[in-house]
Amino acid sequence: MDPSPPTDLSEEKTRLRKAFRVARREHVDALPQTMRALLFLRPPVPVVQKIPEAAIVGLYFPHAYEAPALSYARWFHERGHSVALPRFESREAAMAFHRWDNPLDEESLKAGPFGMPQPDSDTDSVVPDVLFMPLVAFTANGQRLGQGGGHYDRWLEAYPDTLTIGLAWDVQLAESLPHEAHDRPLAMVVTPTRLYETPALQKRDR
Ligand SMILES: Nc1nc2c(c(=O)[nH]1)N(C=O)[C@@H](CNc1ccc(C(=O)N[C@@H](CCC(=O)O)C(=O)O)cc1)CN2
Ligand SMILES: Nc1ncnc2c1ncn2[C@@H]1O[C@H](COP(=O)(O)OP(=O)(O)OP(=O)(O)O)[C@@H](O)[C@H]1O
């Protein structure tokens, strides 16, 4: 008998999500609370250089163990960029992005259908030119393992020219990840110690 029967790709992704979530939690729990946001205070210069002045910047409202993205939101806002966050009309609806007019005001966000804070229904729907994306794991060549909703992949299928940038802790780096046809690669990944520039970025720059 085969001692390790092959599992299908989605089972493998589920297994990896579990393992990387544990690693991420242990890593972040070991960091003093007050230091965590400081490690993602502002985007690195090579990232900023790729972002046109008028670009609409999509970010995310981070949960406790994801790379904290809110300093970036304030940084882009202060420089005159429109900042947008994911919004879901319902659990079944496709992910959209809505403008977050004042990233200093977390009170303006309302709990969405998945419990995440999101811009309210009266905000403008926009299409970001640049997306900073949360992730569970990534590879040095820009593969991304997300939460398993497929929301970003579906959004990027509709807007394939978006500049995609992952934000991650160093422990989220995977040697390799299962690849499915719908997976959209990241152009760059920022961690507290490194900036990964991937083949998808080189392809854009050509
Ligand atoms: N902070 C943050 N915001 C984000 C994301 C994220 O990963 N982090 N998203 C990233 O996409 C989008 C929403 N994320 C979601 C991810 C999964 C499910 C979901 O339905 N998950 C399944 C379980 C999947 C699994 O782990 O097997 C479920 O809850 O039943 C819903 C929303 C947009 N906003
Ligand atoms: N472009 C797409 N069109 C249709 N279905 C898709 C597309 N992209 C992903 N899916 C479906 O979404 C589900 C989850 O995909 P996947 O495991 O790649 O999610 P993920 O990228 O980890 O999640 P997320 O982007 O929400 O963080 C899969 O069942 C997949 O078939």
ipTM for this prediction: 0.89
Count of structural domains within the chain: 1
Quote the CA–CA distance of 185 and 166 in Å, as a whole number: 10
pLDDT digits (tens, 9 = 90+) for 49-85: 999 999 999 999 999 999 999 999 999 999 999 999 9
Provide the pLDDT for residue 188.
98
Residue 121 lies in a domain: yes
- Sequence-distant (6+) residues with CB within 8 A of 72 are 40, 42, 43, 57, 59, 132, 167
Residue 107 lies in a domain: yes
Provide the pLDDT for residue 3.
54
pLDDT digits (tens, 9 = 90+) for 22-44: 999 999 999 999 999 999 999 99
Of 62 and 6, the one with more pLDDT? 62
Q: Which of 198, 95, 192 is nearest to 144 (CA)?
A: 198
Q: Which domain holds residue 184?
A: 6-205
Residue 1 lies in a domain: no
Residue 21 CA, ligand 2 centroid: distance in Å: 18
The half-sphere exposure of 123 on its side-chain side, counting CA atoms within 13 A, is 24
Q: How many Cβ atoms from other residues are within 10 Å of residue 181's Cβ? A: 5
**3-state secondary structure labels for all residues of 88-102:** CCCCCCCCEEEECCC
Q: Is 142 annotated as a binding residue?
A: no
Backbone angles phi and psi of 149, in degrees to 5: -85, -20
Give, for 21, the enclosing helix (H) or strand (E).
helix 9-29
CATH, residue 16: 3.40.50.10420
Q: Does residue 138 contact residue 189 with C-beta atoms inside 8 Å?
A: yes
- Answer yes or no: is the C-beta of 184 below 6 A from any ligand 2 atom: no
Of 146 and 205, the one with more pLDDT? 146
Residue 122 lies in a domain: yes
98, 114, 147, best to mutate for ligand 1 pocket (most atoms within 8 Å of CB): 147
- Sequence-distant (6+) residues with CB within 8 A of 60 are 66, 69, 85, 86, 132, 133, 134
Residue 43 lies in a domain: yes
Q: 75-103 burial, b if ≥16 CB within 10 A, otherwise e?
A: bbbeeebbbbbbbbeeeeeebbbbbbeeb
Given a cut of 60, is residue 192 above it in pLDDT? yes
Verdict on whether the full-model pTM lies above 0.90? yes
Residue 148 CA, ligand 1 centroid: distance in Å: 6
Question: Which atom of ligand 2 lies nearest, measured to the CA of 152?
Answer: 25
